[in-house]
Structure 1
């Protein structure tokens, strides 16, 4: 994956400290091949709510199980279409490659996202 932020778990198995940026479907496929639990955020350039989610996702990446990734729906339309993205931000939780939760009603608190990931980590 092409990214300027840390994207791999640390040596002790903790998740990356910042969300991984997915630039194409190949990045997505690689992410699913290496992680069982994924929080995937769909954004677009210029989306104010999406921008306000950046620090929240950073906190989630540092404290929740799984890995956090973002994808620009405008730059990776095939992936956005696969998930039927109608609005941004849309957050999708994937467990073993299957969608298990979706939050698409605007800004989300870190606590909500952490709780959602923790719920799906134990299943």
Structure 2
């Protein structure tokens, strides 16, 4: 995936483990939303992460835990929604459960500073 493909105002839906790794290994802040289609709170979080993708410099990535169980396991995702924030390729913060947009934006802002 090229750098220009990451300049997006919409969440990137992960299609492979390799794609996931190439996105989270980049410089800057990456918000990874581990979710499941059957999860009600995950569906409620969808517009929040879409807004963050549209309004911040953070790249937003969505990972379906049913499709990518190995990634969910690698990042100790035991419940969803589960948002892991990466900065410069390293996982820095995790927010579990449905949280308000202000909470997620604050983490993005703190990691961007």
- Normalised TM-score (structure 1): 0.82
Q: CA deviation at 1:23?
A: 2.0
Q: More helix by proportion, 1 or 2? A: 2
2:90 alignment partner in structure 1: 98
1:66-77 equivalences in 2 (<5 Å): 66-77=58-69
C-alpha contact (below 8 Å) 1:23/1:75 kept by paired residues = no
| From 2, 6, 9, the counterpart of 1:8 | 6
* Whole-angstrom distance in 2 between the partners of 1:99 and 1:48: 25
- Normalised TM-score (structure 2): 0.89
* Whole-angstrom distance in 1 between the partners of 2:29 and 2:51: 17
Report whether the alignment pairs 1:109 with 2:100. yes
C-alpha contact (below 8 Å) 1:50/1:89 kept by paired residues = yes
CA RMSD, 1 decimal:
1.7
Q: CA deviation at 1:36?
A: 2.5
* Whole-angstrom distance in 2 between the partners of 1:87 and 1:60: 22
